[in-house]
């Protein structure tokens, strides 16, 4: 086992929060129950994916507001909010509100680019401004400035009985240090560092200087830290799909293996015009997964993880997976099991 791995400091998990169209409340309740379970199991963080016009969480900020009232300690993250769907000023207000409600536990991860299927959705989303919207990193800069308390207007003062502020209210001073950027390319990783954000890196990257996933991800992490004011201390969270089977039933193990095998072909070569490279799902005992992670060049550079739960499993599967991650995989990676 390589000795270069950093000791695992923060253990997190990520979920998409799927639901049945006929009973969406049940799916959202299931997600909140997993957040509560994560806190009881001693996870440091939970992260929610973001899905629009699909059967997954479309408003993670709203769900995390609810989670903030059911938990006391666990950090609450978004991984990631696609800013092409958002107004930065309104989002800054929502993020600050949830951060205050949670007692400063929000980790807001964002990404850039046009909304998915933009030509089909633009009439509903931006009927009048679709040709003029900035879907690039300028949109992130606007959000960062507003979260940091920069003026949103040149007007402030009292008008009648109402008092107006030049900056977004409420203002949460610590939130700016907990803004994350979801980067899948060398350029975006470098940009995140230059702009003082934290880095979220997932199981998907762009094949640029290599076609080996771990090598590509490692280059992103190093480029990010090389351009970040905090250097090697800059925060990076890695989010691979991890499925420990220690306490799984035989039926669960078979289903997990079939899931991973169905997704394996896409990992053989870069996919599509963007040349996306996918990392293999890690399925096995906690000891087996820990051995593979310690041999992973990019994992050896991080001390925070947000292991991604598979999309299509049942609630009881997630309970088993999270329990094994917290009680077996975490300790195998050097992080003692802690419970509240």
* Domains observed in the chain: 10-332 (3.20.20.30)
Residues 6+ apart with CB under 8 A from 139: 83, 84, 88, 112
| Farthest-apart Cα atoms in the chain, separation | 69
Structure tokens at 253: 């193990």
Contact between residue 143 and residue 110 where contact means Cβ atoms under 8 Å apart: yes
Give the number of C-alpha atoms closer than 13 A to the C-alpha of residue 6, restricted to the C-beta side: 18
Distances (CA, A) of 61 to 90, 126, 270, 285: 12, 21, 33, 34
pTM confidence score: 0.96
- pLDDT computed for residue 159 by the predictor: 95
Which residues of the chain register pLDDT less than 50?
1-3
- pLDDT computed for residue 1 by the predictor: 41
Cite the DSSP H helix spans in the chain: 24-41, 60-68, 88-101, 118-125, 137-147, 186-194, 213-227, 250-263, 286-294, 315-324, 330-332
Contact between residue 251 and residue 291 where contact means Cβ atoms under 8 Å apart: no
- pLDDT computed for residue 4 by the predictor: 59
Distances (CA, A) of 332 to 9, 243, 256: 13, 14, 21
- pLDDT computed for residue 2 by the predictor: 44
């Amino acid at each position: 086992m390589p000795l270069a791995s950093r000791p695992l400091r923060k253990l997190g998990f990520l979920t998409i929060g799927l639901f049945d169209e006929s009973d969406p409340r049940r799916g959202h309740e299931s997600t909140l129950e997993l957040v509560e379970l994560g806190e009881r199991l001693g996870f440091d963080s939970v992260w929610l994916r973001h899905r629009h016009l699909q059967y997954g969480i479309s408003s993670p900020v709203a769900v995390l507001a609810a989670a903030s009232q059911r938990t006391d300690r666990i950090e609450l993250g978004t991984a990631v909010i696609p800013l092409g769907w958002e107004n930065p000023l309104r989002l800054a207000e929502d993020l600050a509100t949830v951060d205050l409600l949670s007692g400063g536990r929000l980790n807001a991860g964002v990404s850039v680019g046009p909304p998915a299927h933009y030509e089909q959705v633009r009439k509903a989303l931006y009927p009048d401004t679709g040709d003029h919207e900035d879907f690039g990193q300028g949109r992130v800069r606007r959000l960062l400035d507003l979260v940091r308390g920069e003026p949103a207007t040149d007007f402030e003062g009292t008008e009648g009985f109402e008092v107006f502020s030049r900056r977004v209210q409420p203002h949460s001073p610590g939130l700016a240090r907990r803004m994350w950027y979801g980067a899948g390319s060398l350029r975006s990783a470098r940009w995140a560092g230059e702009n003082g954000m934290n880095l979220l890196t997932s199981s998907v990257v762009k094949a640029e200087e290599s076609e080996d996933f771990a090598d590509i991800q490692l280059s992103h992490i190093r480029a990010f830290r090389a351009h970040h004011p905090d250097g090697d201390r800059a925060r990076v969270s890695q989010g691979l799909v991890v499925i420990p089977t220690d306490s799984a039933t035989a039926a669960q193990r078979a289903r997990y293996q079939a899931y991973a095998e169905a997704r394996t072909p896409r990992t053989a070569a870069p996919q599509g015009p963007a040349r996306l490279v996918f990392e293999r799902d890690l399925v096995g005992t906690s000891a087996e997964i820990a051995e593979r992670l310690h041999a992973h060049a990019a994992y050896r550079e991080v001390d925070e993880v947000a292991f991604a739960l598979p999309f299509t499993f049942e609630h009881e599967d997630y309970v088993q997976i999270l329990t094994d991650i917290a009680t077996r995989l975490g300790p195998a990676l050097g992080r003692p099991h802690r419970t509240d």
